[in-house]
Chains A and B, each alone.
Chain A
Amino acid sequence: METWPIVAVFTQGMASPFSGVLLARLFPFPFGVAALLAEPKDGFETMASELARKGMKAHAPATIVGKSGVKHEFAFALVQDPGKAKVVVDTELSVRDVDEMKVLKFYVKVFDVGPEKAVLCVSPKLAPRAATLAKEYGITVLEDEVPKKLIPMAEKLVNETVG
């Protein structure tokens, strides 16, 4: 498909925090999905590397085996004891408000893994019902129109949790 290389050029060269978002929201598919996903993925990897240098067991992406024996993948996780997650982070990036099914999808993974803190990074924002559900489930939600801005927000939260 000819469009994909073009997307790759755009996403690799994005210096402005608005470029990927603009592209994504102007051209929801297939430009949108690829452009939205590229930024936070790289950001979490950098964040994990930085925390690892400080001696923390941080992984991005992270695969954690839950109580059920099922393997779950998170965008980022901070692990303490072997196999025990302290913080798990996932992202939900969309061209429209994120619905409650995405919150539920994250929650069932969190339920199985049982971390101290579960963070869902959302762009642009949760739909009202999804926000209510996240609150009920005790999920910390970070929202921003610009996906790239979610990384420092998540990093700050992780650092606060670690103390």
Chain B
Amino acid sequence: MAGGTILKGGKKRIFPVHYDPGKKLFHTVVVLSDAPGSFSSILELLRTKVNLIGTGTYTRSDGTALFSGFCEALSPKVTREDLKKLILSSKAAISAEVYEGKDGLLVDTFHTGLVVGGDEYILMRREGLAHVFDRVSKLLGSGGDSLLFEEGATMGAKNAEIMIKNIGIDRVKNQTAALNRFLAAQGWGEVVGEQGPGKDSVVVVIKDCFECSAARGTRKACNFMRGYLGGSAKVTYGMEFDSKETRCVLKGAEACEFVFAPKK
């Protein structure tokens, strides 16, 4: 529809696992020639046999592309052999493998990790990490809070170093807003920075901060995130910053707010 409603952003869905009891599920993995039309030709074939639940495609360093798709059979008669044969009937397919789920459970047994921008990542439940932080704070008290700050600062500094190495210091400084969106895309929270009240001070607001998610009342501040932002700023701007969290979801605020100012 021309001039339709504005598409709002949201959480990306990826499929290392899928559970749908009673359904016949398959994971199709296809190495394709990295040429226009390859992907669509595979989809065109698959549409007759399966309903795609979630897919991903990416180019590979050897000049090929890889399609990975979780799908549900349109008929109970569909077999993994059928699907593999169907996919390989396409000239675009270089090789293919089809894995079948069991009892409605389908797990990605092909991939062995995640790569983002050339760096290896891991996935973990947001709530699980928040609970780990709760536990650290509960076991170690205020020392646990400072430990979380230190860990955050270390990770922030390291990530900034890598980003500077990858895209250059000027882009890191000039495209802060875009890089904040990169944090949001990874599920860390929606980060917005703006001029602070004092000279050279910066206010950073985080909506949906991961550190606050599912916390069980042990912690009262986002010390990891405060450390992360401070560590990142230190490497980017070459100076130490004093930081303070002025609002926090853990204290009932709608968003977390941090003020950073160069250390005197």
Binding site for B on A (CB under 8 A): 66-73, 101, 104-112
What are the 5 A-B residue pairs with the smallest beta carbon separation, nearest first? Answer: A108-B143, A68-B149, A112-B146, A109-B143, A68-B146
Interface-forming stretch among B64-72, B134-142, B156-164?
Answer: B134-142
Contacts of A104 in B (CB 8 A): 140, 143
- What's the Cα separation between A101 and B221 when bound, in Å? 23
Interface size on B, residues (CB 8 A): 19
Partner pick for A108 among B146, B153, B221, B223, CB 8 A cutoff: B146
Q: A70-B149, A70-B221, A112-B143 are in contact. List 15 more A-B contacts (CB 8 A).
A: A66-B146, A68-B227, A69-B149, A69-B242, A69-B244, A70-B145, A70-B146, A72-B146, A73-B142, A104-B143, A105-B139, A107-B143, A109-B141, A109-B143, A110-B143
Q: Do A108 and B149 have beta carbons less than 8 Å apart?
A: no
Q: Do B146 and A111 have beta carbons less than 8 Å apart?
A: yes
> What's the A-B contact tally at a CB cutoff of 8 Å?
50
Q: Do A71 and B142 have beta carbons less than 8 Å apart?
A: yes
Tell me what chain B mostly uses at the interface: helix, strand, loop, or mixed: helix
B193 interfacial by beta-carbon distance below 8 Å:
no
Q: Do B141 and A68 have beta carbons less than 8 Å apart?
A: no
Q: Do A68 and B139 have beta carbons less than 8 Å apart?
A: no
Contacts of B141 in A (CB 8 A): 105, 109
- What's the Cα separation between A73 and B142 when bound, in Å? 8
- What's the Cα separation between A112 and B226 when bound, in Å? 15
- What's the Cα separation between A109 and B147 when bound, in Å? 9
B144 interfacial by beta-carbon distance below 8 Å:
yes
Contacts of B223 in A (CB 8 A): 68, 70
Shortest Cβ distance from A103 into chain B, in angstroms? 11
Contacts of A106 in B (CB 8 A): 143
